[in-house]
Amino acid sequence: MDQQNCDNALYCPFEQALNPSVELVQSRSLDWCSRKHIVSEERRSHLAKSKIAWLTARAFPQANIKGLQLASDWTHLFCLLDDRTDRLTCPVSLGAFLNDMLTVFRTGVLFGDMLTDPFAHALLDLRSRMLQLSSAAWLESFANELRQLFIGYSWETINDTMGIVPDLGTYLNMRARTIGLYPQFLLAAITDDIELPAEVLHDPIVRSLMTATSNCVAWANDLCTYEKEIAEGENHNLVAVMMKHESMSMADAANHVVAMHDAEIRRFLELESELPIFAGHDRDLTRFVGILRSWIRGHLDWAQETGRYRPGLEVSPQQASESGLWARAASW
C-alpha cells in the first residue's frame, strides 16, 4: 500500500509520563481477568501484548497504586467488552445484554443471564471496589457515562446491520462516546484523589477540554487502525467517513484527519488558557487538566509500544514541544 498516508506525525506538545507501578499493575490485571474468566488462557497472551496497563499508567502517571489498579482492571474489562460487543451483531441481542449490564452496575444485583455471565461478575467486582473508594453519587455519575457508552455501541451495531456509513457530524458526536474516555475522566477522583464539584466539572470550558481530549484520542485511534478496519469493511472510522462523504482518497482522508487532530490539540491549548478561577478548587482542577494532557500523550505513546498497534515508519526525533507519532494497525 502507498505509504504517503503515513508521512505525517501527530502534533502533541505534552510531556511523556509513566506511573512506576505499571509492571505490578499489569501483572495483577491479567490475573484478575483470568480469575474473572473474561479472557481464556489461549487469549491471555494476546491480551498481555496489548499492554493495557501501560495505557492506564501513562494516563494516570501520579495515581496511587490502589486507584491505578482499579483503573487498569476497568480498562481491561472495557477493551474486552468492546471486543465482545463487536461479535454481537444482532442489535436486539446486544441491546438486551448492555441493558442488563447497566442494571447490574446500577443495582449491584445479578439476575437472569447475568448470574452466569463472567463480564457481569467482573463488572460487579469493579462496582464494589469503586464504591469503597468513592460515593453513591460518584457511582451514579459513572453509571450515566456507561449508559452513554452503551448507546454508542448499540448505534454502531444498528449501522452495521443496515450498512450505514454515518455522516461526519453524527460520527464525531457518537465517536466521543464509543472511545470510552468519559468514564475514565471520572476515575481521576479515585486514582488521584481529585475532588471537583459538579459546578466545576460541568463548566463549559472544563467540559470542552474533556471533549477535546476525547476527540484527540478517538481520532488518533482511528488513524492507528484505519487501514485494517477499512480492509475489513468497518465504517466506524473517521478516515472511512471522510472517504465516503467527502469523496476523498484514503491518503487524503488520513491527512485531513491528521490536520483535524492537530487543530484540536491547539483548541485544547486555547481552552486551557481560558480556564476560569474556581476558589478552593484550582489545585485539583490543574491536576485534572494534567490528566487530560496525559491521556492525549499517553495514548499516542501506548499506540506506538503496544502489541495491538505498531509503528508504520521510523519517527524522526522532534522537539519536546512537538513530539508525536504515527502508528499503523497490527493484527489483534
Residue 325 φ/ψ, nearest 5 degrees: -160, 165
Neighbour count for residue 287 (Cβ, 10 Å): 15
pTM of structure: 0.91
What's the grid cell of residue 330? 497490527
- d(Cα 26, Cα 18) in Å, to the nearest integer? 13
Write out the chain's pLDDT in tens, 332 residues.
Answer: 233 333 458 999 999 999 999 999 999 999 999 999 999 999 999 999 999 999 999 999 999 999 999 999 999 999 999 999 989 989 999 999 999 999 999 999 999 999 999 999 999 999 999 999 999 999 999 999 999 999 999 999 999 999 999 999 999 999 999 999 999 999 999 999 999 999 999 999 999 999 999 999 999 999 999 998 999 888 999 999 999 999 999 999 999 999 999 999 999 999 999 999 999 999 999 999 999 999 999 999 999 888 455 444 322 223 433 434 433 322 22
Q: Which amino acid is at 113?
A: D
Mapped onto helix, strand or coil, the DSSP state of residue 310 is strand
Contact of 223 with 309, CB cutoff 8 Å: no
Strands (E), 13-151: none
- Going from the N-terminus, what domains does the chain have, and what CATH number goes with each? 8-329 (1.10.600.10)
Rounded Cα–Cα distance for residues 137 and 315 (Å) = 45
User: In whole angstroms, what is the distance from residue 19 CA to residue 22 CA?
Assistant: 6
CB 66 within 8 A of CB 28: no
311 phi/psi in degrees, rounded to 5:
-65, 140
